[in-house]
Structure 1
Amino acid sequence: MTSGTWGTSWATRSAAAFMALVVTTGCAADTTGAPRAGGGRTSSPSASASPTPPPGPPGALPRPGEVGRLPRSADGLPPVISSVPTRRKVVFLTIDDGWEQDPGFLAQVRDRRIPIAAFLTRDAVEARGTTDPTAQGGRFIGAGKWDYMRDLRDAGATIENHTLTHPNLVTLGYDGQKAEICGTSTLIRRHLGERPALFRPPFGNHNTLTRRAAKSCGIDALLLWTATVQPGGKIAYQVPDKKLRPGDVLLLHFRPNLSRDFRILVNKIKRRGFELGNLDAYLKAALR
């Protein structure tokens, strides 16, 4: 893993998180939360039905001195990160695409104060074209589109970039990759009020052109993962001992039965003694 210099987009959206961090010196997973900077409350039913959440970002925040530093990238391009350097039993939940817009998932994120980073693909959010095979059969495909993602943001989730059409980026030249990444950042800003700071390349495939294009689009880092979550909330590990490790980044998708599978997953993580971390706050600490 490598690191680079954070841009102003990251600093702006992390200001609220670190104001809370200065006050609290570290919290358990369900103690704080608020929408990201730049995101106002909407009057949609799913957003207005819940009580006003407590102040501060959702999820566990890093304690002073807890997080190790990631080395800076020698080429000045956005770093590629797979996990967070910490010994604390904390993991991070991320979810990709945006096809299955399950109201039960949104309610859990909002009501249980669960920290989530959502990496959105335009075609998935807007239900354009052929539905991804893993999302086919869902009850809520494209049900709310950008309104749903706005409510998810207002529930405390961070909204990040996963391209317009979900291509294999390494098959594209620089201009093609830039169009996919910048186009998504512009779209997210138009609908949700701010540009994303993180980018996840489809399939995890990337090259130097990807990082160059991402930098030109205002992206601060590429985020991969250490484990994936399968139907039924089953965790598929990428390590031989098949166990969660401190700092793991878990990858979910907006697919059928999301609400049920998400509940199973969160309960499983907590039974194993892990907290759910605020990814924004931890990456800020790791890349200081």
Structure 2
Amino acid sequence: MRLVRQNDGSNVNGGSGGAPSGARGTARQAPTVPQVAIRPSHAARTALVLLTVTALAAGCAEATSTTVKPAAGQQLLKAPPARAMDAYATKLRQESSARATAAKRWGLAKPPLPAPPAPEKKPRISTRNGFEVDDHEGLPPVFTTIPTKDKVVFLTIDDGAEKDPAFLRMMSELKIPYTAFLSDYLVKEDYGYFKKMQDKGVVLNNHTLNHRYMPNLSYERQKQEICGMQDVIEKRYGKRPTLFRPPFGSYNEDTLRAAGACGIKAAPLWNEEVFVDRWDYRELDRDLHPGDIVLSHFRGKEHWKGTMPDMVRRFLKLVTDKGYAVARIEDYL
């Protein structure tokens, strides 16, 4: 059995030069539907002309009138109400203004960029080259980047040690999506903190019960760690996760088999890690890429030279300066 392992800390530093390049997937293509040319009848062509003339008349009507009297035998056409478009534009302006105000309040030089709409067709996710186990077929894929052309990155935060109320307020006011990977030995100190997080739309995922180095454990012990955390999250938060991140990014075939047996569908790792005072990179180019997964941790001054809001400020500065938005990883999976 071949062990595939990727660790936190120094092993994610781009300067090591030992990490394999990321595999880029492609979105699924819908099958081509053959088109059949149909010659319209004389009557159909006449009706089409009448409808076109009527529509043009509606577009040229005065602003005080949104309907045009139909010709004999023709359907009544209605122009779209201008008020609906005005309301939508007003909403966009208000959201932009709110982002700018929140950014200033939290010490950001620029407001975060809004994420594009979630893709209707989800990207095809596969295991990154070099991250496979010996018999990976049918096991949850392991990946560091989601294939997309959208200029977005995904923020993921691990473990649950720090429980900073200011962090919850900041992310809520800035409307920054993120995903949490939780370990029960830390979360159980304050389950309510993460319930508040969930109530704001954050998805709570599996990072094992006790944050052990999984390849050192038997299959049964690994299954207890993963399925046990599934049970905790379901009991406390009402839903079993489908995403799992192995502690330290370390796993073997037993890890992924156990995860699959516990209902896990995917095992996302990360391509960058952000701290209060620096970024670490997996790739040699030391840069962001569309669809990159970014790792951070629930940490405060006890472990860092700053707070979680300080980490978020460093994260958003680089992401925004490079023209990226932060998107929900669940929208792409």
TM-score (ref. length: structure 1): 0.69
Instruction: Give 1:1-288 correspondences, 5 Å limit.
Output: 59-64=115-120, 68-71=123-126, 75-127=137-189, 145-232=190-277, 234-256=278-300, 257-283=307-333
Deviations 1:221-253 (A, max 9, x none): 111100111223x22111122111111100000
CA contact (8 A) 1:228 1:252 kept: yes
Distance (whole Å) between structure 2 residues aligned to residue 61 and residue 124 of structure 1:
34
Q: Report deviation, 1:277.
A: 1.2
- Give the secondary structure class of the aligned counterpart of 1:199: coil
Unaligned stretches of 5+ residues in structure 2: 1-22, 26-91, 96-113, 128-134, 301-306
Shift of 1:263: 2.5
Structure 2 Cα separation of the partners of residues 252 and 165 of structure 1: 18
Q: CA deviation at 1:88?
A: 2.1
Partners of 1:61 and 1:282 within 8 A in 2: no
Query: Alpha carbons of 1:265 and 1:198: their partners in 2 closer, same or farther (altered >3 Å)?
Result: same
Could you say if the C-alpha distance between residues 225 and 263 of structure 1 is closer, same or farther in structure 2, counting changes exceeding 3 Å?
same
* Paired residue secondary structure (2:239): coil
CA distance in 1, matches of 2:273, 2:237: 27
Contact 2:126 2:141 in 1 (8 A): no
Q: 1:246 to 1:277 in 2, by over 3 A?
A: same
CA displacement at 1:64 relative to structure 2:
4.9
Give the letter aligned to residue 192 of structure 1.
Y
Relative distance call for 1:271 and 1:2 in structure 2 (3 A) is closer
Query: Cα deviations across residues 99-131 of structure 1 (Å, max 9, x unaligned)?
Result: 10011111122222111100000111124xxxx
- Cα distance in 2 between the residues matched to 1:228 and 1:110: 22
Q: Hey, what does 1:138 align to over in structure 2?
A: none
Matches of 1:71 and 1:204, distance apart in 2:
17
Q: Tell me, yes or no, if the aligned pair for 1:113 and 1:156 is still in contact at 8 Å.
A: no
Q: How far apart, CA to CA, are the structure 1 residues paired with 2:222 and 2:24?
A: 21
Task: Return 86-95 or 261-270, whichever deviates more.
Answer: 261-270
Runs of 4+ in structure 1 off by over 6 angstroms are: none
Q: Give the length in aligned residue pairs.
A: 213
8 Å CA contact retained: 1:61, 1:277: no
CA contact (8 A) 2:116 2:150 kept: no
**Counterpart amino acid of 1:70?**
I
Q: Flag the structure with larger Rg.
A: 2
Distance 1:280 1:79 in 2: 15
RMSD of equivalent CA atoms: 2.4
Q: Deviations over 1:21-73 (max 9, x none)?
A: xxxxxxx9x97xxxxxxxxxxxxxxxxxxxxxxxxxx95433456x6423489
Structure 2 distance, partners of 1:263, 1:104, is 13
Q: Kindly indicate whether the alpha-carbon contact (under 8 Å) linking 2:125 and 2:141 is maintained by their aligned counterparts in 1.
A: no
Q: Does the CA-based 8 Å contact 2:276-2:314 persist in structure 1?
A: no
Q: State TM-score, norm by structure 2.
A: 0.60
Secondary structure at 1:249 match in 2: strand
* C-alpha contact 1:161 1:199 (8 A) present in aligned 2: yes
- Structure 1 counterpart of 2:280, one-letter code: A
